[in-house]
Amino acid sequence: MSPNAAVRRRVRRSVAGGVPLALLAGLAVAGTAVGAPSGDARVTDSVTLGDLPLGTFSNALLPGTVDDDRGVDLGGIGSDIYPAGRKGEFWTVTDREPNGQIKVDGKKRRTFPVPGFDPAIVKIRVSGDTVKVLASIPVTTTSGKAVTGLPNQEGRDEAPYSYDAKTPLTYNPNGLDTEGIVRAADGSFWLVDEYGPSLVHVSARGKVLTRYVPKGLNLTGADYPVVEALPAILLHRKVNRGFEGLAQLPGGDLVMAVQSPLSVPDTEAGEASLTTRLLRFSPKKRAVTAEYAYRFDPVNVVDPGEDDTSELKISSVVAVGRDRLLVEERTDKAARLQVVQLSRRADILGDKWDDDTTSPSLEQLDNPAASGVPVLRKRLVVDLGQVEGIPGKIEGVARVDHDTLALINDNDFGMTDGPEAFDAQGRLVDSGIETTVTYVRLPRGF
């Protein structure tokens, strides 16, 4: 069998927490890459999530939340992946919900074809040639209602529209664009969100305990506690590019990654910049305790087929030792994993770079180190773009052991942009891209 050949078959899977077996579809299983990939890193296994109607999944968790899933299947669980303790078991988190973009009168509108969908924490097991969904936890408000994935604030977030971009939808201050996930020692979860951007503490049953947002966000009307505890400079996050990566260090501190450079002082500066930010948060102090400047490689180094710097993103950060992180730099087609050391000398929290009147801004510096900015030093671990059998748009990375990683991609719920995403009856025209867990063996660990 060739390195990219795939053997797919249906298998049954079970879900704890009230989702009946009969409601769950099979899983497609991809074959193992056996070639000699570039850099000696290689794919050792690849397993693909099967089809499950999104309405079936959602209504089993919170009855009545989805009245029409428009033919969309469960997807988007590739927003992140975190070890669950037992071999082959992981916690994952869905994206906010199916969404796309359609141009109307020359302007892009953000569509939400299943506005009742509620982001969920999903526990999976990868074993042999099967994947089982072991548990699914809806993310809910203080009163137990769905938070939904709808945007929060008019004028700050993209305006939400129906699947065909014709009908405006209502903003929801509870809405979360969920991305990274870690599980704390007490069984609760921490998530990051792109809207605020925000750090969200969630109980073991999915209830939002506290949402930490930037100072000055002025988010009102949420049905859970909102605390302005993050630096105000984060208010300049690029739309749809807030926090995406989240790591938990051995001592319990959290590290959040801003997906793309901030728009400081303006959008043009952010689009051209190679400098983004990582923030360290102490759950004990309930405060940010450090901030770091992270410098991307040039976009054509990360992805030789790309020349648009704004396509660079951080989608995953993983703790690989005390104060050491594995950082994923990516475009939608390629990714590279770097190791950085978080040192006290590199801390820029409270410096002039957190003042949005500083000129030039951190994001505008062509050579931050030459301007006295202690940019994090990094070391390349693996160029995933050179490893045969890696899917596109990898958003989650988990450390399995000393030399093995588990990767998961975001399939965007099978959606594409444009009016062709749905047929004349308003049913999804599926992209055919599936959610896949891929194991990669590295030659020398990290």
Q: Are 139 and 208 in contact (CB under 8 A)?
A: yes
Decide: residue 86, CB within 10 A, 0-12 exposed, 13-18 middle, 19+ buried: exposed
Q: Are 43 and 389 in contact (CB under 8 A)?
A: yes
Distances (CA, A) of 438 to 39, 45, 62: 17, 6, 30
Mean pLDDT in order along the chain per 10 residues (446 residues): 34 33 31 41 92 95 97 95 95 96 96 97 88 92 98 97 97 97 97 98 98 98 98 97 96 97 98 98 98 98 96 97 95 95 97 97 97 96 94 95 94 95 97 94 79
Q: What does the pLDDT read at residue 138?
A: 98
Q: Which amino acid is at 103?
A: K
> How far apart (Å, rounded) are the C-alpha atoms in residues 353 and 355?
5
> How far apart (Å, rounded) are the C-alpha atoms in residues 119 and 179?
10
> Which pair of structure tokens corresponds to residue 31?
């074959």
Distances (CA, A) of 254 to 47, 251, 275, 319: 29, 9, 20, 9
| Residue from 281, 441, 292, 312 nearest 378 by CA | 292
Cα dihedral 249→252→253→256 (10° resolution): 60
Q: Are 99 and 415 in contact (CB under 8 A)?
A: yes
Query: How many CB atoms sit inside 10 A of residue 36's CB?
Result: 9
Distances (CA, A) of 7 to 113, 328, 376, 384, 418: 32, 29, 42, 22, 31
Q: What does the pLDDT read at residue 65?
A: 96
Phi, psi of 354, deg, nearest 5: -90, 0
> What is the residue extent of each domain of the chain?
21-441
Q: What does the pLDDT read at residue 19?
A: 38
Q: What does the pLDDT read at residue 108?
A: 96
- The SS3 assignment for 292 reads strand
> How far apart (Å, rounded) are the C-alpha atoms in residues 40 and 55?
43
Decide: residue 133, CB within 10 A, 0-12 exposed, 13-18 middle, 19+ buried: buried
Q: What does the pLDDT read at residue 133?
A: 87
Between CA 315 and CA 321, with CA 320 as vertex, the angle to 5 degrees is: 140
Q: What does the pLDDT read at residue 12?
A: 28
User: What is the number of helices (H) and of strands (E) in the chain?
Assistant: 3, 25
pTM of the model: 0.91
Q: Which amino acid is at 371?
A: S
